[in-house]
Amino acid sequence: MRKIFFILFLIGCNIIFSQTPDENMLKGLNSINREELMKSVSYLASDELRGRLSGSQQYFNAADYTAKQFLKAGLIPANNGSFFQYFFTEYNEISDAKFGIVKENKIFYYKHGTDFSCRGFSGSGIYTSPVVFCGYGISESCYDDYKDVEVNGKIVLIFKQNADWNTDTKEKYSSLRVKSEIAYNKGALATLFVPRPNDKNPQKPIGSVMDGEGQYISNHPMLQIDIKVADEILENTGYTLSQLQSKIDESRLPNSLNTKANAYLEVNAKYDPARNTMNVAAILEGNDPILKNEYVIIGAHLDHVGSQGNVIYNGANDNASGSAAVLQIARAFSELEIKPKRSILFLLFSNEESGLHGAYHYVNNPLVPLENTIAMLNLDCVSNGDSIMVGNGLSAPELWNIANEMDSLYIKMMVKNTWKGGGADATPFFEKGIQCLYFVTTNGYEHLHLPTDDTETLKPELFEKITLLAYLTAYRIAND
């Protein structure tokens, strides 16, 4: 019933704005609804899929589910009869992790998932050792956090971010693997990363499989800890973490110290340097004999950051939501009586979370010619927050105007700010000169990369609206 009112409302809008109603386009809206969207998310973000880590059996199951949905919608497999575009990925499975502070021969354990998390490419080990605070973890001739402390056989505690004022080292030290490799080369057993406490909204311990420069070190655990945990480690130094950050930033000099605390940590991880994974790709053929050789890509990343023992990062908003939206938009197009003039390629990426590797793999091995790819719409984190933002509008103003027009006619939830330069999986396409839009909801990152990014926290109505807007925008691009 709600749907019928919505359609009447939309037709009404058309009369008011004296637009030619495109009945065919509007009929597609009937195929998209929040119940179906939430159904897909409930499966993709279920504990059963254990956070869809690229290369895992559970990621394969997720990919298989999406391929079946594409098949059901009557789409064509985009890779020589297969919906899958395979490639190899670095893979690390964390089966268990413990972390605590040792006082009078007793271990006081912290809570995994809230007080601490493992970095995705953490090595394994069981260590009890003193903790040494080493500032930003930089070791260069111009500035050296390690010069006055001994870290051999110790656990190192460093800031996750870099010093804003130390521009020379910023790029090199942006990879946490580089930072921990430096600690490892100085003999440290493990690295604890902590966010800068003086930042506006310091990050909670997140699940992340971002690889970055640097190697996998099999016997060197990498953890991210909460600021309050770091303050407990620093208890006997007379400083808080915030005071230490201020001291370093104000003097621009290292202020490393022995914390006098002992930590216990245990990480069990299984590493595979080359595991098979895949993007999922399906085509809806256009109905214009000439324009069908042109393509609009509608994409989202299917992967998330996996699990760490009992802590599962379900990634409902990031990005089961975008994946479910792509499935629904595919169904909407497939159910149209008159197909769009141009063809549409639906693409679900692997390995966004480790560094956009799936999207980069695609643009370097495109399944349809890049020169005939006229636009790429990316959906990432589309079901939490309060309104709709369409990103990359400054780099693709014509496309953004279409989205804006569709929003003012039919949806009315889009904010006017946008950005340039692509963004996440749109970036590789942007770099190839393809016009992109990035659909995302605003203020929707409350649970980002936390174990609480679950289906229950999503906003079905907003989710439906942004999916409708992406569909309408894609329809116009594929036909105009």
Where on the chain is the footprint of Zn ion (CB under 5 A)?
318
Structure tokens given for 246: 């201020």
When the beta carbons of 196 and 449 are compared against Zn ion, the nearer one is 449
CB contact at 8 A, 121 and 211:
yes
Q: Whole-number minimum distance, CB 249 to Zn ion, in Å?
A: 29
CB of 214 to Zn ion, least distance (A): 20
**Shortest separation between residue 380's beta carbon and Zn ion, angstroms:** 8
Between the CA of residue 78 and those of 85, 105, 293, 307, 390, what are the distances in Å?
9, 60, 14, 30, 27
Cβ 119 to Zn ion shortest distance, Å: 14
Residues 6+ apart with CB under 8 A from 381: 317, 318, 319, 321, 322, 440, 441, 444, 445, 448
Number of residues assigned to the chain:
480
Q: Which two tokens stand for residue 179?
A: 């930072």
Whichever of 85 and 321 has its CB closer to Zn ion, that residue is 321
Residue nearest to Zn ion (CB): 318
DSSP secondary structure string for all residues of 49-99 = GTT-BTTSHHHHHHHHHHHHHHHHTTPEETBTTBSEEEEEEEEEEEEEEEE
Nearer to Zn ion, 294 or 318 (CB): 318
- Measured CA to CA, the distance from residue 367 to residue 374 in angstroms comes to 14
Q: How far is the CB of 326 from Zn ion (least distance, A)?
A: 16
**Residues facing residue 344 across a β-bridge:** 284, 296
Nearer to Zn ion, 181 or 318 (CB): 318
Question: Which of 214, 355 has the CB closer to Zn ion?
Answer: 355
Residue 133: closest CA among 221, 259, 315, 286: 259
Using alpha carbons, select from 2, 1, 59, 7 the residue that is nearest to residue 410. 7
Nearer of residues 322 and 393 to Zn ion, judged by Cβ = 322
- The nearest distance, CB 377 to Zn ion, in angstroms, is 18
The rounded distance, in Å, linking the Cα atoms of 450 and 454 is 9
Give the Å distances, CA to CA, from 103 to 131, 210, 221, 245. Answer: 13, 33, 21, 26
Q: How far is the CB of 305 from Zn ion (least distance, A)?
A: 7
Number of H helices, E strands in the chain: 12, 16
Q: Decide whether 356 or 469 has the Cβ nearer to Zn ion.
A: 356
CA separation, residue 48 to residues 59, 126, 325, 373 (Å) = 10, 29, 20, 36
CB of 436 to Zn ion, least distance (A): 18
Q: Which is nearer to Zn ion, 46 or 240 (CB)?
A: 46
